[in-house]
Structure 1
Amino acid sequence: MKEDFLHHVWQHKKFAVTQLQTTAGESIQILNSGQYLQLAGPDFFNAQIIIGNQKWAGNVEIHIKSSDWYIHNHENDSNYDSVILHVVWEYDTPIFRKDNLEIPTLELRNYVALSDLHKYQSLISQKSWISCENEIINVDGFIFKNWQERLYFERLERKSAEIMTLLAESNNDWEAVLFCLLAKNFGLNTNGPLFLKMTKSIPFSVVRKESFAVENLEALFFGQANMLVSNFQDNYTKKLLQDYTYIAQKHKIQKSVFESVSFFKHRPDNFPTIRLAQLAALYHKEHNLFSKIVSVTSITEIYTLFQIEVSKYWETHYNFDKKSVTKKKKITNSFIDLIMINTIIPVRFAYEQSLQKEYSQEIIELTTALQPEKNIVIDKFASIGIFAKNAFQSQSLLQLKNEYCDAKKCLQCAIGAFLLKN
């Protein structure tokens, strides 16, 4: 038994609501079960309940056992002074207010159908990949579609909170925020955190000033990422080290102290050297990238923005001092799609939120125009009959798995609620 089951039961009145009584024998009539806000304090706010002949307005707190009130130290928390009804599964001790009056208690186990309890226990006790693995395919299509939209924007809101933190650190410079998040995206999962630290260590004003020469940006990025530390043989790489030393001194940039970049298990086109060279080429070409990104209306426009070519040295190298077959090393459309999903759309959403705008239909249209990600989670959903046709759907499925399925929040999930109801 978990409290979320009791929250579900109370919120949706999944019990015999007639002839309810407190543990002291007083009648209970629920006029309004309250708002389930999931904030600090009582579980349900602004409930309206008639107990005996008295109408009460206040909050409702829910526990498995009534003694949990004292285990959670609610008697010392003024937030719980307004509780008008204590709803529990098992009444094992009376609970008193600060004025020594007992708080009325409803013992739910006397009113909940055993069939509902068994359904709940069966759902959360399954040892499969997700609790509803065998039933999810039977969920009503309308409910599933609406829930996917809710999940997608939940995911964007979570990312938006992280972006707003970065915005505050960047003195409200959206171009700087985009720069940091693009770098993180260019580094993928392996080097992304290091690339983010690297970009945060460079004032974006310096990037603006040095963007007239792609070699200066390469020197700056490679130097701050601790990649210019070897005894180079190539003249170009020797010059990068010299340029980095000069640029760092000129702008008083503190030397970074990060872990080393990783080349392990990366295809050559994803080597950190190539991704940083591409990032340098991008900011050499585009000087007001954020302004352009927030105004685009199609995927084609994004592809055009990211049509860049690396500098001549990197056309014939994947690493310093090691020559390779000539290749332009352009950013592929599939990689741009990942940038769209993980950086551009979240930044655009956060920007619109900062302007107190409702999310634009363009965000949905851009996301539905993108191919779904390919990863273990999306593949597993496909194996149980849930297919993602675009990035909008794959992102919602990732949110479902990470925030609801893994946390066993079946009763806060529209899918779990539907399955229990039916």
Structure 2
Amino acid sequence: MREDFLHYAWQHQYFDKTDLRTTGGEEIQVLRPGQRNADAGPDFLNARLRLGEVEWNGAVEIHLRASDWQRHHHQTDQKYDQVVLHVVLTADADVRRTNGSLIPALPLGPRLAPDLLARYEALVQAPPAAALPCAPLLPQVPMLTRTMMTERALLERVERKADTLATLHEHLGHDWEATAYHALMAAFGFQKNSEPLGRLAKAVPLAVLRRHRHDARQLEALLFGQAGFLVENEETQGDAYLTDRRQEHEFLRHKYGLAEVALAAHEWNYLRLRPANFPAVRLGQLVGLLHRRPALFDALLTATSVAALGEFFAGAPAPDYWRQHYRPGRAGKVPALGKSSIELLITNVVVPLRVAYAHHTGQPELVESSVGLLSQLPAEHNQYTDLYASLGFEHRTAADSQGLLALHQGYCQPRRCLHCAIGARLVGGSAGQLRVVR
């Protein structure tokens, strides 16, 4: 058994409360079990209990064994002095606060219904290779429960991304345009080159970029030069375009003192990438966007549809040279920024950026409309989304895909079944619900 099962049983009061008493014999009445604490400190806060004739308001800490209190060093942590009841599976030790006072204990082991425990074990004891522990039991879960849980997981995923951008916004001096610039730079790496492109955003600060973004030649020199793509070698020797941009970069690099933060050509990743995803290609597309779209954040914020955002990205092509070269000095016809790439940028940058701004400015309606953009995008397909779709989960739009990915990564993969509405329903139902459908 894992501790989260006791959390679940206490939160929902799924145990026999007949003649409920502490190990010391005091009668217990649970007036309010408290709220789950996601931060450091006791597991449940603001609980309201009657122990004997005294009513207590405080915290509840939960362990499998009472002796875990000492193993976790709570006896020396003042955050745990607010605990008024120690709920355990097995009461194998007395525990005390930092001042030495005894904390009453409630052993739940004898009070847990066998069928409740059996339903829990049916989930968590699924083979490690099982991507979805509750798959055999899913026909017993109403579609409404599945849909609501997927939507909840979607919102959690978007909020996590928005929180990351909110932190970036704070780090960048509360500049939303700079936040959009850094977020887009990293996103154009499409995983393989996200990290070096993120560093390139730091290597060419927006304050410098703003002075030259209307001059295509200088903009290309700054970004490709700081990226390490303008160095002379066997492939680039005699290339007039690269020679010109290299000379311009030398001037700008010295002017702004950028030499120390420049990247080297070997820092970019090419392994298992199609030429259309090569870093110079993606950087060329970014340069086109930065040159033709001077107000990035405002455009991303005010777009009212996926079609408008598609035009924003697709209508700013790369410079001519980078539409004809996959790598510096290596010619070849390069495709424009594709529809699927634009959809990923909307999903991973535009939506969370707008949500972060909505939270910052107190606009809940903007959160709703921003997340709604995902419903205008087609569903993504990979091994995980296809698995859930095969089990009857709705999978029509990117909102569904993002929700299913969040469900897998946040709940199914780490076996957080009792934190999931689907798992909680299976565990908390009647004994008859344990029937496995094969």
Q: Is the 8 A contact 2:351 2:371 kept in 1?
A: no
1:203 aligns with 2:205: yes
Secondary structure, aligned partner of 2:46: strand
Question: Within 2, Cα distance between the matches of 1:108 and 1:163?
Answer: 43
**Greater mean deviation of Cα atoms: 299-308 or 337-346:** 299-308
Matching residue within 135, 150, 155 for 2:157: 155
Matching residue within 256, 259, 279 for 1:251: 256
- Write the letter of the residue equivalent to 1:67: S
Note the alpha carbon deviations across 1:68-107, whole angstroms, 9 max, x for none: 1111111111111121111100011112344544221111
1:331 aligns with 2:333: no
Q: CA deviation at 1:239?
A: 1.4
- Write the letter of the residue equivalent to 1:246: F
Write out aligned runs for 1:119-138 (5 A). 119-127=119-127, 128-138=130-140
- Report what 2:319 is aligned to: 311
- Report what 2:219 is aligned to: 217
Matching residue within 262, 276, 283 for 1:276: 283
Q: CA deviation at 1:315?
A: 2.9
Note the alpha carbon deviations across 1:336-363, whole angstroms, 9 max, x for none: 1110000111111101111122252311
Write out aligned runs for 1:106-185 (5 A). 106-127=106-127, 128-185=130-187
Question: Within 1, Cα distance between the matches of 2:323 and 2:76?
Answer: 68
Q: CA deviation at 1:257?
A: 4.1
Question: Within 2, Cα distance between the matches of 1:97 and 1:342?
Answer: 46
- Report what 2:306 is aligned to: 299
- Flag as ranges the 4+ runs of structure 1 deviating above 6 A: none
- Report what 1:15 is aligned to: 15
Question: Within 2, Cα distance between the matches of 1:257 and 1:268?
Answer: 21
Matching residue within 360, 367, 372 for 1:365: 372
Secondary structure, aligned partner of 1:188: coil
Q: Is the 8 A contact 2:116 2:427 kept in 1?
A: yes
Q: CA deviation at 1:389?
A: 1.1
Q: CA deviation at 1:21?
A: 1.4
Secondary structure, aligned partner of 1:20: coil
Secondary structure, aligned partner of 2:424: helix
Q: CA deviation at 1:333?
A: 2.0
Write out aligned runs for 1:87-98 (5 A). 87-98=87-98
- Write the letter of the residue equivalent to 2:248: D
Give % identity.
Answer: 35
Question: Within 2, Cα distance between the matches of 1:303 and 1:185?
Answer: 16
Task: Give aligned pairs, total.
Answer: 420
- Report what 1:261 is aligned to: 268
Matching residue within 191, 194, 197 for 1:192: 194
**Greater mean deviation of Cα atoms: 295-304 or 16-25:** 16-25
Note the alpha carbon deviations across 1:20-55, whole angstroms, 9 max, x for none: 111122221111111112221111111111122222
Question: Within 1, Cα distance between the matches of 2:414 and 2:180?
Answer: 31
Extract unaligned runs of 5+ from structure 1.
none
Matching residue within 339, 348, 351 for 2:354: 348
Question: Within 2, Cα distance between the matches of 1:283 and 1:100?
Answer: 64
Question: Within 1, Cα distance between the matches of 2:256 and 2:170?
Answer: 22
- Report what 2:433 is aligned to: none
Q: CA deviation at 1:8?
A: 0.2
Question: Within 2, Cα distance between the matches of 1:273 and 1:411?
Answer: 46
Q: Are residues 81 and 265 of structure 1, via their aligned partners in 2, closer, same or farther at CA, if it must alter by over 3 Å?
A: same
Extract unaligned runs of 5+ from structure 2.
430-438
Secondary structure, aligned partner of 1:81: helix
Matching residue within 316, 320, 328 for 1:320: 328
Q: Are residues 143 and 359 of structure 1, via their aligned partners in 2, closer, same or farther at CA, if it must alter by over 3 Å?
A: farther
RMSD after superposition: 1.7
Note the alpha carbon deviations across 1:302-332, whole angstroms, 9 max, x for none: 111111222222232222222224x5x3222
- Write the letter of the residue equivalent to 1:379: D
Question: Within 2, Cα distance between the matches of 1:359 and 1:41?
Answer: 34
- Write the letter of the residue equivalent to 2:347: I
Note the alpha carbon deviations across 1:90-137, whole angstroms, 9 max, x for none: 011112344544221111011111111121122111011121122235
Question: Within 2, Cα distance between the matches of 1:133 and 1:219?
Answer: 55
Question: Within 2, Cα distance between the matches of 1:248 and 1:60?
Answer: 60
TM-score when normalising by structure 2: 0.91
Q: Is the 8 A contact 1:308 1:331 kept in 2?
A: no
